[in-house]
Amino acid sequence: MPSIFSFRNKTYSTLPALLFFLLMAPHSPFAQGQEEGNAQATHLMQLGAGAMHQGNVAEAEKYFTRATVAAPQLADAFLDLGLVQLREGKPEAAETSLAKAVALNPGLSGAHMFLGIAKYQMHEVDAASADLREEIRLQPQNVEALTWLGIVELGAGDADKAAGPLDQAAALAPIDPNVLYLRGRAHSLIAQESYQALYSLDPDSWRVHKALGESYSASGQPEKAVAEFLKAVEKQPMNSDLYESLGDEYQKLSRFDDAMKAYEQEVKLDPHNGIALYNLGKIDVERGDPQAGISLLRQAVSAHSSPAPSYFYLGLGLSKVGKNEEAVEWLEKSLQNDPSDFIKQSGYYELVRVYQKLNRRQDSEHALDQLKKLKAASAVDNQP
């Protein structure tokens, strides 16, 4: 769950931006007494900041409370007071302070979000959602507000409403583990609800068996996945996608003859399916029939299959039949098309061998150097 304080992204020894503007503006809208109150509030907020840095939250609350008394028109003072009260586990008091901050300055950054958090902690789900949506209206790219809205909607049991803001948060923060977990949770719940509804309509439909097969596949149970895909194929024998899924699971089980039969059936139903052609060619190249594999992989390339792996296995097949010059071209192309780490390492490994056959010693040494760097980097990444 995101920290309720990380949004402010300021040290407590720094004046809030709005307060700084009010103090420095040449034409202050406040009377003399108000200006004195602001100066006093500034000092008290700085003391509160110091107390926060020292971990003395109760003392900080006292200073921020005095700041709101000294400058009752200052929204930032109420916002910081509300934050401290949230930190202390006082959601009711925080709601009062944050509601005052919003009333004084409806556009104050973070105020609606923290008010929503306070309301959520008091189980006021609808009100919390409304405040968080208002924060997002004011700041559409506020990752924490989007995340908290997802949390609130998930807490309310509405995964559909949670998915939207969490998808937006993930687009803005693609490597945030909290966002990724919550987004995955929302979509998992949506999938479960959909599958349950599908099952209630017809528990023995091909769609149900396909969904179960995909679930078993995702959880690393290829044997069970195969059984479900076979049931789906029985009911929907003209569905080429089912044969592809079946072939993929057979490959995981090293049942390559069965995999090829599945992909061959897929090609019969969809002759220009680049994925099926690629899989057939790859299996041929790996299992000792490179000439057949080369033909299939050329078709796969023409059908716009995924370039990096298709180019790699085509180059590998060509090297196995002694067509080293052309093999180099495809192996080099595979490295230029955003390959996976496996294809990248395999590509450099094969290039080392093919360059040696062509007496291209410098190129071979360069490829070997790149391969060593990749393996070293991989070893570091895989360290516990």
Residue 1 predicted with pLDDT over 60: no
| Residue 170 placed within a domain | no
Tell me what the mean pLDDT of segment 116-137 comes to. 96
Q: Residues near 301 by Cβ (< 8 Å), separated by ≥ 6?
A: 274, 307, 310, 311, 314
Q: How far is the C-alpha of 290 from the C-alpha of 313, rounded, in Å?
A: 9
pLDDT above 70 covers a percentage of the chain that reads 90
What residue type is 106 in one-letter code? P
Per-position DSSP letters for 144-197, written without gaps between them:
HHHHHHHHHHHHTT-HHHHHHHHHHHHHH-TT-HHHHHHHHHHHHHHHHHHHHH
Q: pLDDT band at 305, cuts 50/70/90?
A: confident
* Shared-domain flag, residues 240 and 305: yes
Write down the pLDDT at residue 17.
32
From 139, 159, 180, the end of a domain falls on 139
pTM to 2 decimal places:
0.65
Domain count, the chain: 2
Of 33-47, 170-184, 262-276, 360-374, minimum mean pLDDT range: 33-47
The yes-or-no verdict on residue 66 having pLDDT over 80 is yes
* Residue 199 to residue 207: CA distance in whole angstroms: 9
Give residue 271's pLDDT band: very low, low, confident or very high (50, 70, 90). very high
Neighbours of 380 (CB within 10 A): 8
Whether residues 205 and 314 share a domain: the answer is: yes
- pLDDT classification of 36: cutoffs 50, 70, 90: low
Q: Report residue 296's pLDDT band, with 50, 70 and 90 as the boundaries.
A: very high
Are residues 215 and 131 both part of a single domain? no
Give 1 or 111, the one with higher predicted confidence: 111
pLDDT of 380 reads: 77
Q: What is the mean pLDDT of residues 221-226?
A: 97
318 within some domain: yes
Span 309-351, pLDDT tens digits: 999 999 999 999 999 999 999 999 999 999 999 999 999 999 9
Given a cut of 60, is residue 20 above it in pLDDT? no
- Residue 60 domain-assigned? yes
CATH number for the domain spanning 238: value is 1.25.40.10
For residues 285-302, average pLDDT: 96
Q: Do 29 and 131 reside in the same domain of the chain?
A: yes
Residues 211 and 295 in one domain: yes
Residue 283 in any domain: the answer is yes
Alpha-carbon span 10 to 217, nearest angstrom: 46
Identify whether 6 is part of a domain.
no
Please tell me whether residues 135 and 202 are part of one structural domain: no
Whether residue 56 has pLDDT greater than 70: yes
Q: What is the mean pLDDT of residues 223-243?
A: 97
Q: Of the residues 287, 317, 332, which one is the last residue of a structural domain?
A: 332
Buried b (16+ CB within 10 A) or exposed e, 230-254: ebbbeeeeebbbbbbbbbbbbbeee
Q: Are 50 and 80 in contact (CB under 8 A)?
A: no
Range scoring the smallest mean pLDDT among 55-59, 112-116, 366-370: 55-59
State pLDDT tens for residues 175-222.
999 999 999 999 999 988 998 898 999 999 999 999 999 989 988 999
Domain of 40? 17-139
Task: List the one residue out of 155, 152, 149 whose CA is nearest residue 167.
Answer: 149
Residue type, 46: Q
Residue labelled with tokens 């360290």: 383
Q: What confidence category does residue 7 fall into, taking pLDDT thresholds of 50, 70 and 90? A: very low
3-state secondary structure of 257: helix
Asked whether residue 352 is assigned to any structural domain, the reply reads no
Residues 119, 240 within the same domain? no
